[in-house]
Amino acid sequence: MAASGDAKKGETVMVTGASGFIGSCVVRGLLDRGYSIHAGVLNPDDKAETDHLHALAAGAGEGRLRVFRCDLLDGAALLDAARGCSGVFHLASPCTVDRVDDPQVLTYRVDGILLLAPTGSRLTCSIRSWLQKQMMVPAIEGTLNVLRAAKKAGAVRRVVVTSSVSAIVPNRGWPAGEVVDERCWTDIDYCEKNGVWYPASKALAEKAAWKFAEENGLDVVAVNPGTVMGPMIPPTINASMAMFLRLLEGCTEDYLDFFMGPVHLEDVALAHITLFENPAASGRHICVESICHWSDFAAKVAELYPNYKVPKFPKDTQPGLVRAKVGSKKLIALGMQFRPMEQIIRDAVESLKSRGYIS
């Protein structure tokens, strides 16, 4: 990500979830553009969270990156990190719900803890309620705590909230035949009835952010990325790259309620920075290479890499989702260009190879 002469040298911004897949790339982009960073992580003493951040900052100059403990439910810690910052990038959130190869088991990652529970009627109401709480509370209250800290800090001029296309779909009530855009919101009732907690958490967290912004006069913009893939910076694999890895290994999960299109990691990072720097940016911003079905993406992967065990899917894995070559009109209007699907796939494959996940 090339440096920009427009960045304000010495300007300091806060990044929550800085150690994550997207957060690390945002940190790198901000450092390249001359910003100093208050990097929020859950545990500053965990080298797996911090070593790669310090490596990114090594050539940027002394003092350009400071690490802060940022538990989303600790308002005082968040305020400490936000002080002296002109901008806040809020990326931290509970991880998505992943379905594993065994259709009788669901895998949940909540605050780094891997949990297994059977699907269907055997997934009890108490477990569903607990999972709902674990996803909802950090997502919604965490977002509000970050916004409160940004407001109290006094110097923050804009907050960029990382939402998701999961705050846009699933929505079975969207008009048939119409391309999804930023007006569309995830159907919370559908999510609750079907135990799809991640989209519900992202939609409710984003709605809470907009309500807080309106009531408190805080400048907030949101980026809604699709399934993010690309070169991994952190030492561990993230949820979306794990989805991709499982596809290469033959997983037949079609991500019915989670997929709307892929996007390159570096484009997502640049979208965050563009939304912070461009005064004309406002509202929500879909961030995908194109709007497509998981079947379209899988077919392209199989075409490029026939040696892997990519399964063949039915044509419409996301029923009702209208395909569109241009899905990120608002970001493109702000000057962004998106890497094509082929590059997304190739860069993701090379990253997995470099880490030894595939050969």
Residue 24 within any structural domain of the chain:
yes
Whether the model pTM is above 0.95: no
Residue 4 within any structural domain of the chain:
no
Residue 6 within any structural domain of the chain:
no
Per-residue pLDDT, 127: 56
Active site residue 202: yes
Which single residue is written with the structure tokens 């709307």?
260
pLDDT surpasses 70 at 254: yes
Average pLDDT score over residue span 71-89: 97
pLDDT surpasses 80 at 108: no
Residue 7 within any structural domain of the chain:
no
Output the CA torsion 305→269→290→306 (10° steps).
Answer: 0
pLDDT tens, residue by residue, 311-354: 999 999 999 999 999 999 999 999 999 999 999 999 999 999 99
Per-residue pLDDT, 17: 97
Q: Which domain holds residue 254?
A: 12-354
CATH number at residue 40: 3.40.50.720
pLDDT surpasses 90 at 264: yes
Return the higher-pLDDT residue of 344 and 100.
344
pLDDT surpasses 50 at 302: yes
Question: Out of 202, 207, 300, 312, which one is annotated catalytic?
Answer: 202
Number of domains the chain is built from: 1
Residues in the chain: 359
Per-residue pLDDT, 106: 37
pLDDT surpasses 70 at 171: yes
Residue 5 within any structural domain of the chain:
no
Average pLDDT score over residue span 260-267: 98
Residue 267 within any structural domain of the chain:
yes
**In angstroms, what CA-CA distances link 316 with 130, 180, 251, 259?**
33, 16, 17, 12
Per-residue pLDDT, 9: 60
* 111 neighbors 17 (Cβ within 8 angstroms): no
pLDDT surpasses 90 at 59: no
Residue 170 within any structural domain of the chain:
yes
Instruction: Please enumerate in sequence order all residues whose Cβ is within 8 A of that of 64, keeping only pairs 6 or more positions apart, or say none.
Output: 31, 36, 37, 57
pLDDT band at 184 (very low <50, low <70, confident <90, very high): very high
- Share the mean pLDDT of the chain: 89
pLDDT surpasses 90 at 132: no
* 163 neighbors 202 (Cβ within 8 angstroms): yes
pLDDT band at 128 (very low <50, low <70, confident <90, very high): low
